[in-house]
A and B are shown apart, each in its own frame.
Chain A
Amino acid sequence: MKYGFIIDNRKCIGCHACTTACKSEHDVPVGVNRTWVKQVEKGEFPHTRRLFSVMRCNHCTDAPCVDICPVEALYIREDGIVDFDKERCIACKSCMQACPYDALYIDPETHTAAKCNYCAHRVDIGLEPACVNVCPEHAIISGDMDNPESEIAILLGTQQVKVRKPEKGTVPNLFYIDADDASLNPSLTTRPQDTLWGRQEGGVGHFAKAAEKMAFSNPDVVSALMEVNGQSTTADEVTANGKARSVDLLIGKTPRRVYDTPNKGILWGWEVSGYVWTKAIATGAILVPFVAWLMGAMGPNLEGQYWSLGLGIFFLAATGALLVKDLDQPTRFVYVLLRPQWKSWLPRGGYAITVFGGLMALSLVLLYLGQTMALVQWLTAAFAVLVAVYTAFLFAQAKGRDFWQSPTLALHMLVHSLMAGGSAFALVNLITGAEAGWTQFLNTFLMVSLGANLAILVSELATPHPTHDTHRVVDMIVRGVYRNRFWLGTVLIGNLIPLALLFVSGGSPVMMAAAALMILAGIYITEHIWVEAPQRISLS
C-alpha cells in the first residue's frame, strides 16, 4: 500500500481551487499554504505560455524531513503518507531546512510546523483528499500506487512522468505529467516580491507576527524585518542574475514566476548563528588547554583551569538558552531528550551537550578536590569535539540547503571552536595575566588555526561547486549581498588582521586580546553568513 499523487498538467487550468479547498479542510492560516499553484510565464509573444504547477509535499519515500525531525513529529505511515503530529513538534524548523521542496511552514496559530499530510484523516475513513475532490479538471490524481487497478497506477504505467529534484535522492511520490522544467526547477526562475496579482508586504508563518505588528504600530517594522530576513529579494535577483539580466527579467524575456506562495523568510536567524558561536567558545575553552596538554606544551595555571571550565559551562548554558529560544515551542524543548528520534543530529547533539555539560561539572568538582582523572579529561575533550562539530552533521541533514552539504563543514566548525577557545583565553589572560609559555602557546596556536581556517575558507568557496544552488550561495557571499560582511567581516577582521597582529604581537597581551576580539567577531559574522545565505535560495 503506497499512496501517491499525480498532477496532470495537461488538465490543470491554474484555478487555485485546490488551494482554497485545502485551506478550508485544514483551516490553514492566511499567508501559508499546504498546496499552491505556482505559475510561470515562458516564451516570447505570441508563443507565450503560462505554466501552472501544483506544489506541495511529495510524500517522499526517503524523506529528509522525517530523518531530521528530532522528535518524530514527522513520520512515514505504513500507507506511504508522510504525516506529522503537531503535538510532538517543537518547531525547531529543521524540517524546513531539510525538505528540498519548501513544503513545510510554521503555522502561526499552532506555532508548529505543518504541511500537506495527504488529508490522512480523510484517507483513514476512505475519503479522497479535499484538493482532489474539488479540482474541476480532475488534474490531481490520488490513489494506491501498489494497486495495479488504480487510476494512478495505470497512469504511471502509461504516461511519462517527472518529479521535482530527483537528484536529491528523496524518491518523491508526487509525479507530474507534462510538466515543464521552468516550473519544476526553482533555479530557472527567481522568487518575485511582486506576483501578477499580488505583492507581499508582510511576513507570513513564523513571521506573521510582524504582519500583526503593522496593524498596531509602525509599518516600517515589517519592511525592516523583511529586509533583515531577506524577504525583499531584489538583491537576490541581482545577485542571481547580475544587473543586466534582472532588467531583462523585469521585462519578461526569461521565464518568470508570476505566482508563488509568499516568502516565508529566513527561518534560522541570529539565534542559530549565535548558538554556533557560543558553542564554539564553550568547546574551545575545553579543547585548547587539552591540546596544549596533549602536545606537552604549557597549559593554563589553576586559575586558568577554573576559567576553562567556567567559560565552558557558561557558554554551553548560553548555547542551550539560544537553542530553546529558537524554538517556536520553547516549552517543549525537553522533547528533544525525552522523545528522541535517533537519526536526527538534534537529539544526538542534545545528548552530547548534556553529557558534555555533566562532564564539565564533574571536572569542576575534581578540580576543586585537586584530583585529575585522565579518563574524564579524555572524555570531556571527546565530547567537546562532538559538540563542536555535530551542528555540521545536522546541517548536512538539511538536504534542502546545498551549501551546507560541504564535506569540510565539520572541520570548519572544529577550527572555529579552536579559534574561539584560543581567543577566549587571550582575553582571560588580559584580565588575569598568565605565564609566558601559555601565552606563547596561545599566540602560535591561534596563528596556526587562523591559517587552517583560511585554507578551509578557500576550499569551501573556491573549489568547483557541486550544484547550481551552492554556486549561487557562493556568489552571494563573495559578490552579492554578503560581500561586505564577508570581505570585511570574515576575511579582514576575522582572519587577516588578527593574523598580522599575532604575527607582530610578540606575546603582548593587549595585542593578543585585540586579535582575539576580532577573531570572535569574525567567527560570528562568518557563521551568520553561513547560516543565512543558503536560506535565501528558493526551493520550490
Chain B
Amino acid sequence: MTKKPGFIERIAESIGIIPNLHKDRDLDLPHLTQTTDLTNFPPPEQWDDWVEYEAKAHPRREKKHYQIVPTTCFNCESACGLTAFIDKETGQVRKFEGNPYHPASRGRNCAKGPATINQITDPDRILYPLKRKGKRGSGEWERVSWDSVLDDIAGRIRKALQEGRNNEIAYHVGRPGHEGYMDRILQAWNVDGHNSHTNICSSGARFGYAIWYGYDRPSPDHTNAKVILLISAHLESGHYFNPHAQRIIEAKMKGAKLMVMDPRLSNTASMSDYWMPSYPGSEAAVLLAMAKIILDEGLYNRAYMENWVNWQEYLEHMHPGVPVTFENYIEKLKETYAEYTPEYAYEESGVRPEMIRETARLIGEAGEQFATHNWRSAGSGNLGGWAVARTLHFLNVLTGSVGTKGGTMPSEWNKFKPSFFAKPPAQKFWNELHFPNEYPLAFFEMSFLLPHFLKEGRGKMDVYFSRVFNPVWTYPDGFSWIEAFSDESKFGLHAALTPTWSETAFFADYVLPMGLASERHDINSYETHSGKWIAFRQPVLREAARRNGKPVTFTYEANPGEVWEEDEFWIELSWRIDPDGSLGIKQHFISPYRPGEKVTIDEYYQYIFERVPGLPEAAQKQGMNPLDYMKKYGAFEIEPHCYHQNLNEVKPEVLEGSVVDPKTQVITKGGKPVGIMVKGKAVEGFPTPSRKNEFFSKTMIDWGWPEYALPTYVKSHIHPETLDKSKGEYVLVPTFRLPTLIHSRSGNAKWLYEISNRNPVWMHPQDAQKFGLKTGDLVKMNTDIGYFVDKVWVTEGMKPGVVACSHHLGRWRRPEDKIGNRWATNTVAIKNDGQGGWKMSTISGIKPFASADKDSSRIFWSDGGVHQNITFPVHPDPISGMHCWHQRVRIEKAGPEDAYGDIFVDTNKSMEVYREWLKMTRPAPGPGGLRRPLWFKRALRPVDELYYLDNVNENGSLKEGVGQ
C-alpha cells in the first residue's frame, strides 16, 4: 500500500537529506480470510504466538508477537470475557479485547472492558502491603512484608476463635463474585462473618421475587421476547449490562417493544418505545393498573395460573366459604385490584392512563414472551420498594411468562453451582450484627447499619476485612462509618483488600493490594440470558509464564509489585490460623490430589472444572484436561437454554420415602417440601412452601405483615403526601449509574474519567425556574441529616417535581492522602467538631499531575463532582432490610457562603433517623420461635438449628447438645 515517492522526494531520500520513509511499509503477514471480509478474532490455534502489526507504528510494519490469554472483566457484575494481549517481548499486557468464546458477552464489551488496561497501569495503584503509622486515618503508611501481615492477622483470628469470639470476625465485600470461595473459607473458620453490599443494592428487588417463588433474581430471556419491560436501565448499567443490552437490542431489531419506567431519561429510556416517567415509588401502582387491565380484558394465561399459582390456598385463607374454583379466584382478583384503575395509577405516577392501557394490552398479547427486569432504581429507592418486584413478577405470572422462551426465568436456573472438595459444614454461629432480630425477613445482611449497631454497643469487630468495598464513600451516612472506623474499640483491626485506593482504605490498619481483573482467579456464572455458562477469571501473566515453561508457584510472583490475589491470601491465612490443624480448619485446605499437602490454586479449580457437566468431554475433544481448557478458552457453555425448570421431574431417589399432601399436592420429605404433583406428574416446582408462585403469602401473615399477604402497592417514604412542596421539599433520585463508570472502582481508569467526571443535579426547567436556577448554578440540597452543594443541570429529560443525581462521582482524598485515584479525586478538607458535626469542603478539583503515564499531565477536567451519599441517613426497609435510597430533600439556591462541593452532616441526626426507621420493624421471633423463615435463602447459611432463637448462646454460637 506504499505510495511511490515522487521525483524530488526520491532524489532527496536517496542522497539522504531526508529519511527514507518508504522502507518497512510492505505487507508481509498473511490475511486471515480469503476475501475482503474481515473476521473479528485471531484463530485460537494462534493464540500462543499471535502476530499483528503495532497500531502505533502504522504504516510502518512493526510486528508484535502476542500471547492471547483469556480472563474476565472485574468492572461491573457481568464478568464479560476479556482477552489479554501479552507482548512477548516486554512480558506486559498491551491491551484487552473481548473473548469470542464467552457465551454471555460474545466477544463484545462496554467501555469499561478495554479500560481495564488503565487500571493495570494506573500510576496511583497500590503495589505493596501497607501498614498504618500513627493514628488510624492519619494518612501515614509504611511498607511491610506479606509475611508479617499474614502472621499478625492469623494470630489475631486464631485467638478470637479460641476464645469463642467468632462473631468478631467479618469479611465485608463490595463486589462479590468469588462464587462460593469465601463461603468455604468462612465456614472452615466456623465464622458467620459474611457481610455484603446487597442491602444497599438489590435486596429490595430480591425480596419481592423471593416472596413469590423462592428465587431472588429475575433472568429475562430478552432475545426471544415480544415485549420487554424494564424498571431499570439495562442499556447502560446493572446486572448484566453488556450481555443484556446486546439481547434487548437484538429483540428490538426483531420487532419487540421496549418499555421503560424511570423518572429520568436514562439512555435506556431514550431507546425505548414507551418511556413511562413515573413518580419514584409509584411503580407498583402502575404495574397493578396493568395487571387490572390484563385481568379485566381476559388477557391472562389461564393454563399457567391454574397450575402454578397458590390460588387455592389464597381462597381458603382469605375467602373462606367461597368455593375454591379458578373462576372465583379470578373474580376475587378483579375485586382486589379494582381500585387500581389507570386513572388512579396516573394520579400516583404521572404516567398517562392511555399509555398504561396500551402497554398493558401489548404485555397481555406478548403472553409468554414477556421479559422483565427491575434492578436497583425503584426496588432500591423506596420504603416498600420490594413491592415493585413483587407486582412486576405478578405480570409475569399473569401472562404465564415465568421460565418460558422469551419470558423471565429465575436466576438460579442459569447459574452454575460449583462443587468443592473437603467442603466445610455450615457454621454454628449466628451473627446478629449481620442478621439482627429486628429484621427477620431481611434478604441480606444489614450491612449499612453496622456502624449504628456498633455505636449502640451490640458488639465489636476484632478482625474486619473490607474487600473491594468502600462504605465510607458508597454507603449512606459515611461519616458514621468514619466515626466507627476511627474508634479502635469498635474495629480492632481493619484490613482493606483492594486493588486501588478508596476512601475506606484511608481508614484501615492494613491496605493489602489485591489483583485486578487479569491478576487473580475466580469463576463466574451469571444469569445473562437463557443459557448457563461458566467463565474463568485468571491471572494472565501467570498463565503466560506457565505456557512459556516458567511456571510460578504464587500469583504474586507474576503480578506487578507484590500484588497478591485473594484466593491464595485466604489459603495462606487459613493455614496460619491453624498451623497444627487443632482448630479443624487446616483439613479444608489439604489438596484433594496430594494427601497431606497444602492445596494449590490450580488444584482448587481443577477439582471444580472436572465436575462441570460437559466440560471434561469438551476438553477431551481437544485433547486437553478441563483446567487447561478453561485456561485456554476462559469460558464454557453448559447449557444453551434453561427454560421450564419447574417442570423437571423429581428425581426418583428424592421421591423415595416422600409423601404427597392430598389437598395441596405438595410432595414433602422429612417435613421439607421437595416437589409438587402437577397433572399427575411429580415435578420440582418452585422452592416455596407451596412449590408454586405464592400470590398469597402465608409467610407475610405469619411474620406479622398481614396487610402484605398479596402483591400490593406500598406508598414510599417519599410519597408526595410526605413532602411539603411549599418548603421546597422534593424527592431526590440518587441511585442511577453511568455506562462508563462503576461505583468507586473506576476512579483509576483515565479513559472513563475523561468522558465522565462530575454529577450535577438534574432538574426540569419548571422546577429550575421555581428556584431561579439555570444550568451551572449552585444548589443546596438539604437532606434529613445535612446538605450538599452541587451544580444544576436543567433538562427536559427529568420528570417535573423530581430531581436526580448520579452515583459514582464526587470522589475525594484529603491533603494527607497524597496519592490515590488522582484522575478522579477532588482534594477536600474534612472538619469534625467532635459533637457529630462534620464539614467537608473542596480545596481543589482534579489536577494534572506528573507520573510515568504522560496522560496524567494532560488531564483537562477539574470538576470531580460532589459526594452525595455521605449526606444521606440510613433508611432500612422494615421488611426487606433494603436501604431505601431516595431522599427527601429541601432544595434551595446556594447562598453566598456556600461553595461548590460543600457538605455538612450531623451524625447525631443520623442516629435519630436510624432509630425512627428501626421503630417500624416487627422483630422476631416468628412462628415456632424462629428468627427467620426456614425456607428463606440466607447468605452463608448456618445450621438450621440456629434459626430457633432458643438454641443460641450469648456469643451467637449454637447451644451445646442442640440438634446433635
Shortest CB–CB separation between residue A114 and chain B, in angstroms? 10
A interface residues, tally (CB under 8 Å): 97
Q: Does B858 lie within 8 Å of A108, measured CB to CB? A: yes
Smallest Cβ-Cβ distance to B755: which chain A residue: A16
Contact partner, A136, options B41, B52, B242, B794, Cβ 8 Å: B242
* B861 interfacial contact with A, CB 8 Å: yes
Q: Does A30 lie within 8 Å of B52, measured CB to CB? A: no
A21–B740 alpha-carbon span in the complex (Å):
13
Interface range for B: 35 or more
Q: CB-CB < 8 A to A200: which residues of B?
A: 860-861
A129–B41 alpha-carbon span in the complex (Å):
10
Contact partner, B847, options A78, A138, A146, A215, Cβ 8 Å: A215
Shortest CB–CB separation between residue A302 and chain B, in angstroms? 39
* B55 interfacial contact with A, CB 8 Å: yes
Q: CB-CB < 8 A to A214: which residues of B?
A: 847-848
* B702 interfacial contact with A, CB 8 Å: no
Q: Does A19 lie within 8 Å of B765, measured CB to CB? A: no
Q: CB-CB < 8 A to A247: which residues of B?
A: 774
Contact partner, A78, options B1, B52, B845, Cβ 8 Å: B1
Q: CB-CB < 8 A to B277: which residues of A?
A: 45-46
Contact partner, A20, options B3, B18, B751, B796, Cβ 8 Å: B751
Contact partner, B275, options A15, A46, A202, Cβ 8 Å: A46
Q: Does A31 lie within 8 Å of B860, measured CB to CB? A: yes
A143–B37 alpha-carbon span in the complex (Å):
7
The prevalent SS among residues of A at the interface is loop
* A471 interfacial contact with B, CB 8 Å: no
Q: Does A198 lie within 8 Å of B757, measured CB to CB? A: yes
Q: Does A13 lie within 8 Å of B861, measured CB to CB? A: no
A338–B5 alpha-carbon span in the complex (Å):
10
Q: CB-CB < 8 A to B635: which residues of A?
A: none
Which among A249-257, A404-412, A427-435, A515-523 touches the partner chain?
A249-257
Contact partner, A211, options B30, B110, B776, B848, Cβ 8 Å: B848
Report B752-763 CB contacts with A as 1/0, cut-off 8 Å. Answer: 101111111000
Q: Does A85 lie within 8 Å of B41, measured CB to CB? A: no
A259–B862 alpha-carbon span in the complex (Å):
16
Q: Does B245 lie within 8 Å of A30, measured CB to CB? A: no
Q: Does B114 lie within 8 Å of A20, measured CB to CB? A: yes
Which among B136-144, B263-271, B293-301, B316-324 touches the partner chain?
B263-271
* A197 interfacial contact with B, CB 8 Å: yes
Q: Does B32 lie within 8 Å of A125, measured CB to CB? A: yes
Tell whether A201 pairs with B863 under 8 Å between CB atoms, given A133-B108, A252-B796: yes
Shortest CB–CB separation between residue B854 and chain A, in angstroms? 7
* B548 interfacial contact with A, CB 8 Å: no
Shortest CB–CB separation between residue A260 and chain B, in angstroms? 11
Q: Does A17 lie within 8 Å of B109, measured CB to CB? A: yes
Q: Does B857 lie within 8 Å of A215, measured CB to CB? A: yes
Give chain B interface residues in 784-843, CB to chain A under 8 Å. 793-800, 806, 809
Shortest CB–CB separation between residue A453 and chain B, in angstroms? 38
Smallest Cβ-Cβ distance to A84: which chain B residue: B59
Contact partner, B38, options A31, A85, A142, A252, Cβ 8 Å: A142
* A441 interfacial contact with B, CB 8 Å: no
Report A470-490 CB contacts with B as 1/0, cut-off 8 Å. Answer: 000000000000000000000
* B17 interfacial contact with A, CB 8 Å: yes
Q: CB-CB < 8 A to B1: which residues of A?
A: 77-78, 83, 120, 124
Tell whether A199 pairs with B863 under 8 Å between CB atoms, given A13-B267, A46-B277: yes
Smallest Cβ-Cβ distance to B797: which chain A residue: A48
Report B885-920 CB contacts with A as 1/0, cut-off 8 Å. Answer: 000000000000000000000000000000000000
* B739 interfacial contact with A, CB 8 Å: yes
Q: Does A15 lie within 8 Å of B59, measured CB to CB? A: no
Smallest Cβ-Cβ distance to B7: which chain A residue: A340
Q: Does B860 lie within 8 Å of A30, measured CB to CB? A: yes
Q: CB-CB < 8 A to B793: which residues of A?
A: 196
Q: Does B755 lie within 8 Å of A338, measured CB to CB? A: no
Report A314-352 CB contacts with B as 1/0, cut-off 8 Å. Answer: 000000000000000000001101111000000000000
Q: CB-CB < 8 A to A128: which residues of B?
A: 38-40
Most buried by A among B38, B41, B42, B55: B38
Report A116-137 CB contacts with B as 1/0, cut-off 8 Å. Answer: 0101111111111110111111
Give chain A interface residues in 262-320, CB to chain B under 8 Å. 262
A75–B4 alpha-carbon span in the complex (Å):
12
Tell whether A121 pairs with B798 under 8 Å between CB atoms, given A21-B109, A29-B858, A251-B775: no
Q: Does A134 lie within 8 Å of B114, measured CB to CB? A: yes
Q: Does B32 lie within 8 Å of A126, measured CB to CB? A: yes
Q: CB-CB < 8 A to B809: which residues of A?
A: 197
A395–B112 alpha-carbon span in the complex (Å):
41
Shortest CB–CB separation between residue A40 and chain B, in angstroms? 11
A203–B857 alpha-carbon span in the complex (Å):
11
* B29 interfacial contact with A, CB 8 Å: yes
Q: Does B758 lie within 8 Å of A198, measured CB to CB? A: yes
Q: Does B40 lie within 8 Å of A339, measured CB to CB? A: no
Q: Does A50 lie within 8 Å of B848, measured CB to CB? A: no
Give chain A interface residues in 45-74, CB to chain B under 8 Å. 45-46, 48-52, 72
Contact partner, A127, options B40, B110, B738, Cβ 8 Å: B40
* B964 interfacial contact with A, CB 8 Å: no
Tell whether A120 pairs with B18 under 8 Å between CB atoms, given A15-B110, A147-B35, A147-B36: no
Contact partner, A338, options B12, B37, B794, B857, Cβ 8 Å: B12
* A167 interfacial contact with B, CB 8 Å: no
* B618 interfacial contact with A, CB 8 Å: no
Q: Does A127 lie within 8 Å of B39, measured CB to CB? A: yes
Q: Does B795 lie within 8 Å of A41, measured CB to CB? A: yes
Smallest Cβ-Cβ distance to A207: which chain B residue: B860
* A14 interfacial contact with B, CB 8 Å: yes
A15–B35 alpha-carbon span in the complex (Å):
31
* B58 interfacial contact with A, CB 8 Å: yes
Q: Does A17 lie within 8 Å of B796, measured CB to CB? A: no
Q: CB-CB < 8 A to A121: which residues of B?
A: 52-55, 58-59
* B27 interfacial contact with A, CB 8 Å: yes
* A111 interfacial contact with B, CB 8 Å: no
Q: CB-CB < 8 A to B55: which residues of A?
A: 25-27, 119, 121-122
Tell whether A44 pairs with B52 under 8 Å between CB atoms, given A19-B111, A211-B860: no
Which among B90-98, B377-385, B657-665 touches the partner chain?
B90-98
Q: CB-CB < 8 A to B775: which residues of A?
A: 194, 250-252
* B246 interfacial contact with A, CB 8 Å: yes
Q: Does A194 lie within 8 Å of B37, measured CB to CB? A: no
Contact partner, A251, options B18, B42, B774, B855, Cβ 8 Å: B774
Tell whether A259 pairs with B798 under 8 Å between CB atoms, given A125-B53, A338-B9: no
Report B853-885 CB contacts with A as 1/0, cut-off 8 Å. Answer: 011011111110000000000000000000000
Q: Does A133 lie within 8 Å of B52, measured CB to CB? A: no
Shortest CB–CB separation between residue B112 and chain A, in angstroms? 8
Q: CB-CB < 8 A to A29: which residues of B?
A: 854-855, 858
Contact partner, A117, options B30, B58, B108, B109, Cβ 8 Å: B58
Smallest Cβ-Cβ distance to B351: which chain A residue: A46
Report B17-53 CB contacts with A as 1/0, cut-off 8 Å. Answer: 1110100000101111101111111100000000011
Q: CB-CB < 8 A to A11: which residues of B?
A: 249, 252-253
Most buried by B among A15, A26, A247: A15
Q: Does B755 lie within 8 Å of A197, measured CB to CB? A: yes
Report A345-384 CB contacts with B as 1/0, cut-off 8 Å. Answer: 0000000000000000000000000000000000000000
Closest 8 CB pairs of A and B: A126-B32, A197-B756, A202-B860, A215-B848, A144-B36, A338-B12, A121-B53, A24-B114
Chain A residues packing against B (C-beta within 8 Å): 1, 3, 10-11, 13-17, 19-21, 23-27, 29-31, 41, 43-46, 48-52, 72, 75, 77-79, 83, 85, 87-88, 108-109, 117, 119-130, 132-138, 142-144, 146-147, 150, 194, 196-204, 208, 211-212, 214-216, 219, 247, 250-253, 259, 262, 334-335, 337-340
18 contacts between A and B (CB under 8 A): A16-B111, A16-B755, A17-B111, A30-B859, A31-B860, A41-B797, A45-B277, A46-B277, A77-B1, A83-B59, A121-B54, A125-B53, A136-B246, A197-B740, A201-B860, A204-B858, A252-B795, A339-B8
